[in-house]
């Protein structure tokens, strides 16, 4: 089996994506075809035996073969026509913009390419934290109180400090700040608005428990272990950069069966049907034995391989249950009937 991995792209999380892609080389047992999307959104075929982070930061990747995305997959130019880069399916491993906002999903669907990753609807819902909150409430999953502020608007903040400020459409802890008193509000908003035109404000609750659960659906749900992250107040970008290169399984959280089942039920409500074909990670808060959704991560760093006993088996199983678009037959029945009625 050949697995294509698309990574990079024009995103604040570009480097995280590079780290994730390199990490999977140690995990996946199938042949990997690396396809790099640079900041200019050009695609390159990266030799698997030569992939390393410096290849991208130095620009050496530009010496590799330039690819074109079109019907059926990625192609490289040859002397006598184009040659298809053969792979059984693609893994969308682009974090943030381009990968998690639906652009690549749209392209893959448009060109009929089989891929693991969030589809258009799931991308739109999970990329925007406000839409995530609304969706969670719609399917019956708890969320913390929240408020959205827009750049250059002067709405009063209704949530009292301490609270956390997050760019509305960004991950990897970029632009996040904790406001402990009113003197810190302006600075936290300025930082967050550097990355987005809207921010989400949530109460910051010291001592709240946080858990991560990853999974996907084949003929049944395949769940990872439940992880309780070892965190300080929150992981900044530098810590998450290192975190996403993990390839060793982490320790399982010590929780009771009822709490674990509650998280899995919440996961199921969030996953099916919008995230079919993707391996996602849901980050939950637990407060007074109640489960709350923090975020849906539709493309976890290194695909959250460190939460699974056999990540390769999960990816192999998921590849057999990827959604397909309904084929629309080529027909002009109505136009032809109208023309026939007119005698033309």
**Structural domains of the chain, ranges and CATH numbers in brackets:** 2-118 (3.40.50.20), 124-142+208-321 (3.30.470.20), 147-203 (3.30.1490.20)
Query: pLDDT 10s per residue in the chain (344 long)?
Result: 999 999 999 998 999 999 999 999 999 999 999 999 999 999 999 999 999 999 999 999 999 999 999 999 999 988 788 999 999 999 999 999 999 999 999 999 999 999 999 999 999 999 999 999 999 999 999 999 999 999 888 889 999 999 999 988 876 577 888 999 988 988 999 898 988 899 999 998 877 899 999 999 999 999 999 999 876 545 454 555 455 556 677 888 999 999 999 999 999 999 999 999 999 999 999 998 899 999 999 999 999 999 999 999 999 999 999 998 888 888 888 888 877 766 66
- Bridge partner list, 90: 4, 115
pLDDT tens-place string over residues 69-107: 999 999 998 878 899 999 999 999 999 999 999 999 999
- Bridge partner list, 33: 4
Kindly give, in sequence order, each residue whose CB lies less than 8 Å from that of residue 328, ignoring residues fewer than 6 positions away. Answer: none
CA angle 109, 112, 114 (to 5 degrees): 85
If you ran DSSP here, which 8-state letter would residue 58 be given?
A: S
Q: How far, in Å, CA of 343 to CA of 341, rounded?
A: 5
pTM of the predicted model, to two decimals? Answer: 0.89
Count the neighbouring beta carbons within 10 Å of the beta carbon of residue 20.
26
pLDDT at residue 172, rounded to an integer: 59
Give the distance from CA 6 to its chain's centroid.
13
Cβ atoms of residues 202 and 144 within 8 Å = yes
If you ran DSSP here, which 8-state letter would residue 232 be given?
A: S
End-to-end C-alpha distance for the chain, whole angstroms: 53
Residue ranges of alpha helices (H) inside the chain are 14-24, 53-57, 103-110, 120-127, 129-138, 185-193, 237-243, 257-271, 311-318, 333-341
Count the neighbouring beta carbons within 10 Å of the beta carbon of residue 36.
23
């Amino acid at each position: 089996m050949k697995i294509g991995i698309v990574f990079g792209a024009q995103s604040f999380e570009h480097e995280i994506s590079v780290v994730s892609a390199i990490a999977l080389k140690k995990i996946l047992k199938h042949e990997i075809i690396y396809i790099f999307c640079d900041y200019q959104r050009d695609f390159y075929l990266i030799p698997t035996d030569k992939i390393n982070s410096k290849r991208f930061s130095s620009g050496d990747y530009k010496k590799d073969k330039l690819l074109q995305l079109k019907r059926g997959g990625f192609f490289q130019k040859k002397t006598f026509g184009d040659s298809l880069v053969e792979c059984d399916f693609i893994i969308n491993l682009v974090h943030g913009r381009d990968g998690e906002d639906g652009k690549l999903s749209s392209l893959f669907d448009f060109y009929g390419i089989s891929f693991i990753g969030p589809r258009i609807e799931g991308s739109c819902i999970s990329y925007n934290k406000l839409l995530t909150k609304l969706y969670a409430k719609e399917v019956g999953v708890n969320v913390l109180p929240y408020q959205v502020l827009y750049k250059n608007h002067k709405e009063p903040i209704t949530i009292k400090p301490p609270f956390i400020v997050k760019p509305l459409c960004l991950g990897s802890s970029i632009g996040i700040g904790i406001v402990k008193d009113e003197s810190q509000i302006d600075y936290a908003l300025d930082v967050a608005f550097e990355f987005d035109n809207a921010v989400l404000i949530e109460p910051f609750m010291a001592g709240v428990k946080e858990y991560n659960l990853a999974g996907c659906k084949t003929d049944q749900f395949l769940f990872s272990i439940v992880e309780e992250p070892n965190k300080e107040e929150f992981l900044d970008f530098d810590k998450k950069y290192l975190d996403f290169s993990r390839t060793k399984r982490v320790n399982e959280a010590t929780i009771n069966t009822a709490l674990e089942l509650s998280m899995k039920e919440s996961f199921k409500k969030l996953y099916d049907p919008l995230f079919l074909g993707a391996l996602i990670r849901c980050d939950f808060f637990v407060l007074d034995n109640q489960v709350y959704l923090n975020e849906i991560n539709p493309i976890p760093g290194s695909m959250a391989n460190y939460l699974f006993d056999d990540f390769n088996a999960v990816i192999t199983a998921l590849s057999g249950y990827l959604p397909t678009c309904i084929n629309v037959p080529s027909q002009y029945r109505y136009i032809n009937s109208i023309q026939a009625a007119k005698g033309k």
